[in-house]
Amino acid sequence: MCQERLGRRARERHAHLAPRPCSPQLTAVPLTRAIEPVPHPVLPPVQRPFRAIALTVVPEAARLSDRGWEELERLVEHRLATQPAKTRRQVRFFIRVLQWLPLLRFGRTFTGLDATRRRRVLQAVGDAPVLLLRRGVWGLRVLVQLGYYAQPHVAAEIGYLADPRGWEARR
Amino acid sequence: MIEKSYDVVIVGSGAGGGTVASALAPLCRDGVTVLVLEQGARLDDHEFSGREQDMADVLYEDGGGFLTADGTMTLAFGRAYGGSTVVYTGTSLVAPERVIRAWDVPGLDYSDIVRRSRVYAEQNNVHLLAADLLNDNNRLFVQGCAEAGYHAEQFPLNVRGCKGSSLCNLGCPNAAKQGTHRVQLPSAKRQGVEVVTRAAVRRVEDRAVIVEVTPKADGQKGRPSEWAPGTYRIKAKAIVVAGGAVGSPALLLRSGLGLRLPKLGAGFTCHPAHILVGEHPDPITNDVGHPKSFFVDRAAQEGFVLETCMYFPFTTAKNLTGFGPAHSALMRAFPQLQMILVLACDKAVPHNRVTVDREGRPVVRYRFTRATIEAMVRATRASAKIFFAAGAVRVHAPSADPPVIERKDRHRVDELIDTRHFRPGKVSVSAAHLMGGCGMGRSAEDSVTDSWGRVHGLPWLRVADASLFPDSLEINPYLTIMGLADRVAEGLRTEAKTLLGAR
């Protein structure tokens, strides 16, 4: 847990946990296309739980290279950059909620759970009677799917072959 | 602030704005100056790459993922030179008579809508695709419908030289789709209409608009704006707002017109939609060929419309319910997937409306009514039957729990697909037929404009887009938008002498 990014009350609540330095900012990676830099990235302080959530949503993401993960996170950040600051804060907060919530049931954080329990946690929260929780899981899974399936090599891997030349390319 | 002056300013360049521009263009010969302001960019033909995220980012508001206020539905609407006509599939249907009659707008005659729609259908080369250009995804739909007892009809399309890229919703990479960016806007420009892109209208004042022209960022697709970046105040004798069913009411609301027009933003409908998939045992042609060639119209009887469709990997993944191994298995079966888009014909209700936040950004407040949910569930059941009748081995149905129904359970679809499994916030719902918000009617008490798009009490201000619809159209809306926009232009031409001082 990135202690210095927590608010005062959260720091007190998690005082028993050994503080760890924040995850480093994502390093710039060569882009297939130039895009404007993301001024306030959301994921670095919650990168570990985010990746655990991503692996639960798309298990094949385990096969991604470091470069593939960087691209996944770049696509997510790029989308979040277009959202209001409030939404970005909510996304980061919700990832933290998912990280700590399993302590109540399993005595471990989300990242400390095995794949089955992680899936069970996400499903339970995604099925919650509270709309805010359901849409939180929906939003996170859509962000993960954006980062994963919008990568052209992934599209090719699942057999998506659309080509601007249309029938000419296929016949 | 830079000051400019025109006779007519049109806000938006889609089916509404582009049509008004072309219909007013002949006035340029008489010295009338017409300006179109488009907040999106103008792309050159080679920039339509067909790559999902690249194109969604540049052609759609919020990349196609504009969320309603409670986060339970995403709205897709275009933001480019040509508006949403760049990203639709070109389906061109004339409005149903029963719907226009039910709208009950004084002065709006159904035969007038039909006549104008036909003019634009002709102008846009609307026709039926030849049978040899249809793919398996569409053929299986027709076959499944026949066996399941549904009447499939072929969509008339506005394409010219379609190569079947299947990428319509990412902007045609072959310049085949005859949107306003290909037909009406070039024609208007040839006649003297000026078009400025990357120009976002912040507010409307008394016979003026305040516009922010933004620079093109490094690496961004599209041409730079025709004007230098900066803030402009543009005076106009007439202003036509055609920013779409979200953009137009939001613009008028942040311009302070909400008090004098209490119905501004009200009556928003959108044909909430699910993307359903059926998995076949063998690969089919789905990602090649026009994606949306057939439909089933059950609007009058059951409140839904089914359409063939084929989406891209991320859009498909997002629209399947759930996650994890079951979701991944369906995605890996992509070459075997048949897709159907189900659209519910929602009705205008008081709680569904467009508002603005403190910064003036649009906020769409939308809750699914019981009737809408029931229509979506009926549509999902019908689609599941069509998939299985066409030979699918399993069907993904968002309103089933679990959402995947195996072939052995095909006789239980009515039982397995149920409204109790339609949980907003869990199931993916999206909409692309955005309507209402500046509805036509009798007076400011029940509407925003009259049947000619004149804003009540402000004769210099007109609306010309899908926001005019007083209720859902229950079919793909773009020809009707063009027909109504043509009326708005005719109204302006008729009043040109008094309103514009034209000779």
Structure tokens at B355: 């508002």
pLDDT on residue A131: 95
- Residues of chain B with C-beta less than 8 angstroms from the C-beta of A148: 317
Query: Which residues, 6+ apart, have CB-to-CB distance to B493 below 8 Å?
Result: B23, B24, B27
User: What does pTM read for this prediction?
Assistant: 0.91
| Among the partner residues A75, A141, A160, nearest to B287 by beta-carbon distance | A160
Using alpha carbons, select from B253, B242, B237 the residue that is nearest to residue B203.
B253
Query: Which residues, 6+ apart, have CB-to-CB distance to A158 below 8 Å?
Result: A149, B313, B331, B332, B334
Handedness of CA B364, B368, B369, B372 (dihedral sign): positive
- Same domain for B155 and B230, yes or no, is no
pLDDT on residue B503: 61
Top residue of B129, B177, B288 to mutate, by most chain A CBs within 10 Å, is B288
The pLDDT tens digits for B81-105 are 999 999 999 999 999 999 999 999 9
Task: Characterise B149 by phi-psi region: left (phi > 0), alpha (psi -120 to 50), beta (else).
Answer: left
The pLDDT tens digits for B136-171 are 999 999 999 999 999 999 999 999 999 999 999 999
CA-based nearest distance A154→chain B, Å: 9
Using alpha carbons, select from B56, B15, B54, B68 the residue that is nearest to residue B38.
B15
Exposure of B217 by Cβ count < 10 A (0-12 exposed, 13-18 middle, 19+ buried)?
exposed
Is residue A26 situated within a structural domain?
no
B317:A149 CB<8 A: yes
Q: What φ, ψ does residue B389 adopt, rounded to 5°?
A: -65, -30
Q: Which domain holds residue A78?
A: 3-11+41-170
Higher pLDDT, B266 or A34: B266
| Among the partner residues B167, B331, B426, nearest to A158 by beta-carbon distance | B331
Among all residues of chain B, which has the CA nearest to that of A58?
B324
* Mean pLDDT score, B222-231: 97
pLDDT on residue B460: 96
Residue B218's CB is within 10 A of a number of other CB atoms, namely 8
Using alpha carbons, select from B397, B392, B389 the residue that is nearest to residue B282.
B392
Task: Characterise B299 by phi-psi region: left (phi > 0), alpha (psi -120 to 50), beta (else).
Answer: alpha
A159:B334 CB<8 A: yes
CA-based nearest distance A51→chain B, Å: 14
pLDDT on residue A10: 35
pLDDT on residue B501: 79
Is residue B313 situated within a structural domain?
yes
| Among the partner residues A146, A154, A165, nearest to B163 by beta-carbon distance | A165
* Number of domains into which chain A is organized: 1
- Same domain for B46 and B120, yes or no, is yes
CA atoms of A132 and A110, how far apart (whole Å) = 19
Is residue A18 situated within a structural domain?
no
| Among the partner residues B163, B220, B331, nearest to A167 by beta-carbon distance | B163
For residue A142, the number of C-alpha atoms closer than 13 Å in the C-beta half-sphere is 31
Structure tokens at A119: 């899936």
Q: Cα torsion for B154, B187, B167, B63, to the nearest 10°?
A: -120
Residue B85's CB is within 10 A of a number of other CB atoms, namely 31
- Same domain for B223 and B102, yes or no, is yes
Is residue B410 situated within a structural domain?
yes
SS (H, E, C) A10-26: HHHHCCCCCCECCCCCC
Least confident segment among B280-289, B370-379, B455-464, B493-502: B493-502
CA atoms of B478 and B481, how far apart (whole Å) = 5
CA atoms of B54 and B376, how far apart (whole Å) = 31
A142:B164 CB<8 A: no
Q: What is the CATH number of the domain that holds B380?
A: 3.30.410
CA atoms of B383 and B375, how far apart (whole Å) = 12
A166:B165 CB<8 A: yes
- Same domain for B235 and B309, yes or no, is no
CA-based nearest distance A46→chain B, Å: 21
Among all residues of chain A, which has the CA nearest to that of B318?
A142
- Same domain for B254 and B281, yes or no, is no
The pLDDT tens digits for B418-459 are 999 999 999 999 999 999 999 999 999 999 999 999 999 999
Q: Which amino acid is at B365?
A: R
- What sections of B239-292 are H helices per DSSP? 244-254
Is residue A136 situated within a structural domain?
yes
pLDDT on residue A38: 66
pLDDT on residue A37: 55
Task: Characterise B12 by phi-psi region: left (phi > 0), alpha (psi -120 to 50), beta (else).
Answer: left
Can you tell me the ipTM of this complex? 0.91
The pLDDT tens digits for A98-152 are 999 999 999 999 999 999 999 999 999 999 999 999 999 999 999 999 999 999 9
Q: What is the CATH number of the domain that holds B455?
A: 3.50.50.60
Among all residues of chain B, which has the CA nearest to that of A147?
B314
CA atoms of B40 and B215, how far apart (whole Å) = 11
- Same domain for B153 and B258, yes or no, is no
In Å, what is the CA distance from B109 to each residue of A128, B122, B300, B481? 49, 21, 20, 15
Top residue of B323, B327, B365, B368 to mutate, by most chain A CBs within 10 Å, is B323
The pLDDT tens digits for A45-66 are 999 999 999 999 999 999 999 9
Top residue of A158, A161, A165, A170 to mutate, by most chain B CBs within 10 Å, is A158
Contact B447, B108 (CB under 8 A): no
Among all residues of chain B, which has the CA nearest to that of A34?
B219
A170:B219 CB<8 A: no
Top residue of A31, A33, A63 to mutate, by most chain B CBs within 10 Å, is A33
A145:B317 CB<8 A: yes
Exposure of B57 by Cβ count < 10 A (0-12 exposed, 13-18 middle, 19+ buried)?
buried
| Among the partner residues A82, A138, A164, nearest to B50 by beta-carbon distance | A164
Q: Which domain holds residue B180?
A: 2-125+166-268+433-500
The pLDDT tens digits for B322-369 are 899 999 999 999 999 999 999 999 999 999 999 999 999 999 999 999
Is residue B471 situated within a structural domain?
yes
- Same domain for B137 and B202, yes or no, is no
Percentage of residues in chain A having pLDDT higher than 70: 78
CA atoms of B189 and A146, how far apart (whole Å) = 38
A166:B318 CB<8 A: no
Top residue of B311, B314, B427, B429 to mutate, by most chain A CBs within 10 Å, is B314
CA-based nearest distance B98→chain A, Å: 37
Q: What φ, ψ does residue A40 adopt, rounded to 5°?
A: -130, 80
Contact A125, A101 (CB under 8 A): yes
CA atoms of B492 and B500, how far apart (whole Å) = 8
* Number of domains into which chain B is organized: 2
pLDDT on residue B496: 85
Cis peptide before B249 (omega within 30 of 0): no
- Same domain for B108 and B181, yes or no, is yes
B208-213 and B199-205 as β-strands: parallel, antiparallel, unpaired? antiparallel
* Mean pLDDT score, A35-43: 71
Is residue B414 situated within a structural domain?
yes
**β-sheet bridge partners, residue B308:** B340
Is residue A24 situated within a structural domain?
no
CA atoms of B24 and B219, how far apart (whole Å) = 35
- Residues of chain B with C-beta less than 8 angstroms from the C-beta of A59: 324-325, 328
CA-based nearest distance B102→chain A, Å: 35
* Mean pLDDT score, B59-65: 92
Is residue B246 situated within a structural domain?
yes
| Among the partner residues A82, A126, A166, nearest to B426 by beta-carbon distance | A126
- Same domain for B263 and B405, yes or no, is no
CA-based nearest distance A25→chain B, Å: 23
Is residue A22 situated within a structural domain?
no
The pLDDT tens digits for A60-87 are 999 999 999 999 999 999 999 988 888 9
CA-based nearest distance A100→chain B, Å: 21
Q: What φ, ψ does residue A136 adopt, rounded to 5°?
A: -65, -50
Query: Which residues, 6+ apart, have CB-to-CB distance to B277 below 8 Å?
Result: B316, B320, B330, B337, B338, B339, B340, B395, B396
Contact B188, B21 (CB under 8 A): yes
The pLDDT tens digits for B8-54 are 999 999 999 999 999 999 999 999 999 999 999 999 999 999 999 99
Contacts 24+ apart (CB under 8 A), B43-47: B43/B80, B43/B81, B43/B171, B43/B221, B43/B222, B43/B223, B44/B222, B44/B223, B45/B175, B47/B221, B47/B222
Number of A–B residue contacts, CB under 8 Å: 131
CA atoms of B284 and B136, how far apart (whole Å) = 6
Query: Which residues, 6+ apart, have CB-to-CB distance to B496 below 8 Å?
Result: B27, B30, B32, B502
Contact B174, B290 (CB under 8 A): no
A166:B162 CB<8 A: yes
